[in-house]
Amino acid sequence: MNLVVVSNRVARGKTNEPMTGGLAAALLPVVEKSGAIWVGSSGRVRDGVQKEQFAEIEALGAGALALLDLPAAHYGGYYEGFANSALWPALHSRSDLIRVSQGDYLSYREVNAFMARALLRFNKPDTAFWVQDYHFLALGAELRDLGVTGPIGFFLHTPWPASSVVEGVPHHRDLIEAMLAYDLVGFQTEEDCENFLSYARENLGLKVHGDVVMSRHGRTRLSVFPIGIDADKFAQYAAKSMTHPDVSRLRRSLNGEKLAIGVDRLDYSKGLINRISAFDRMWTAQPALTRTVSLLQIATPSRGSIEAYGKLQDDVARLVSDMAQAIAVALSMPLIERRMRYEAMMKTLHSQTIQQWFSDFIEALQDSQTRKVAAEPIIASGPSLWPRRVIQSGVRYH
């Protein structure tokens, strides 16, 4: 099988250095070892019609990276607009933070269509496409419109909220109908999967049989694939870091104090305000802990041009210049209990590795496509919203 992995961002890894960003850290090792082609944005935009859409194609272990310059006219509305000012807050059940325009949605669909056209370069009889995350909910439908008949799978790296939250997303019906062009849609948890099935059944009036939704595209299977990490590699990084001068200097500066470390993007979905407030409450409630523990929070700024992120950065800065009781318990926990908890956590991490996530999804995608081809033609039930629509500006969407 010729596997093409698609995501908004493609990351270049450095030998023996950990990756920043959850999706990048997840995909890089499996692309390196599987021989897949990883397609995504180069981080640059380009004006006008592009004869050659790909800026760079380079080797990555047994696989390859293909970097694409996205259209300048639509990138802002696609990325900062609909993807991160409508979908991201909704997917994290923060409907109150949705800020989006009609033009943002059109740009989102245009970039999805642009990516689909670019991907045709890699389409062969044995090609399977695996699309990652909320940036490309409609990409499967665009590929089908261009005549792609092979397996197309999708994995969501965020939660999928209840239907009442999804309904706050503009054009939510069109988007989710487009998602049903995928043969397989993967989620992190059973709750996410059930929420999606409930929406398809109740909001779209579609037939659902177990984990299969039936639509005009045929059968779409929904399943859960808990994503993991390469636990052994992380352990190697941790052991190696012990000899790093910066780590040694930090340990000496603590003078026997305990140190809690948080590493997150500066994002309202990470609970940074809650974490800082919890430490403050703990020190207030238990003054004896004031000089025994410190919090080091590493927070990388992101999406600063979006209003909600700018406000969060200000709030975090102000705090620096639920939970409190649990932190205090952890600090006073006997060493033997800490070791038992650590070993239980590591057992889970080793049982759900990134390699297992990858192989489980690809196996399920192949199986879903086989079942879809073998199945009898299906007529979708419920209201018909499928025909392509045309709206102002002459831009099309489903």
The 10s digit of each residue's pLDDT in 14-27 is: 545 555 556 776 78
Which pLDDT score is estimated for 311?
61
Q: Which two tokens stand for residue 122?
A: 């890699």
State the chain's maximal CA–CA distance in angstroms.
70
d(CA 38, CA 98): 30
Residue closest to 217 by CA, chosen among 188, 260, 184, 243: 184
Which pLDDT score is estimated for 230?
77
- The pLDDT tens digits of the residues spanning 108-146 come to 999 999 999 999 999 999 999 999 999 999 999 999 999
Q: Find out whether 197 and 211 touch, Cβ atoms under 8 Å.
A: yes
**Spatial CB neighbours of 332, under 8 Å, sequence gap ≥ 6:** none
Rounding to the nearest 10 degrees, give the CA dihedral for residues 333, 337, 340, 344.
Answer: -50
Quickly count: other Cβ atoms within 10 Å of residue 23's Cβ. Answer: 19
Which pLDDT score is estimated for 303?
58
**Spatial CB neighbours of 256, under 8 Å, sequence gap ≥ 6:** none
d(CA 332, CA 318): 29
Q: With pLDDT > 90 as the criterion, what percentage of the chain qualifies?
A: 46
Contacts 24+ apart (CB under 8 A), 22-31: 22/157, 23/132, 23/133, 23/157, 25/229, 26/157, 26/227, 26/229, 26/354, 26/357, 27/132, 28/60, 29/230, 29/233, 29/354, 29/355, 30/354, 30/355, 30/358, 31/5, 31/60, 31/61, 31/63, 31/65
Q: What is the mean pLDDT of residues 368-389?
A: 55
Highest mean pLDDT among 116-130, 265-279, 351-365: 116-130
Which pLDDT score is estimated for 174?
97
User: Would you call 116 helix, strand, or coil by DSSP?
Assistant: helix
DSSP conformation class of 19: P
Q: 46 phi and psi, to 5 degrees?
A: -140, 140
pLDDT at 318 over 60: no
First to last CA, the chain: 30
What is the chain's mean pLDDT, rounded? 83
The model's pTM is 0.76
Q: Find out whether 163 and 41 touch, Cβ atoms under 8 Å.
A: no
pLDDT category of residue 373 using cuts at 50, 70 and 90: confident
| Phi-psi region at 109: left, alpha or beta (left = phi > 0; alpha = psi -120 to 50) | alpha
Q: What is the mean pLDDT of residues 187-216?
A: 96
Q: Find out whether 129 and 110 touch, Cβ atoms under 8 Å.
A: no
pLDDT category of residue 289 using cuts at 50, 70 and 90: confident
Quickly count: other Cβ atoms within 10 Å of residue 161's Cβ. Answer: 22
Q: 39 phi and psi, to 5 degrees?
A: -110, 135
**């802002």: which residue's tokens?**
76
d(CA 158, CA 302): 17
Domains contained in the chain, CATH given: 2-228+353-397 (3.40.50.2000), 231-351 (3.40.50.2000)
Highest mean pLDDT among 155-159, 279-283, 298-302, 338-342: 155-159
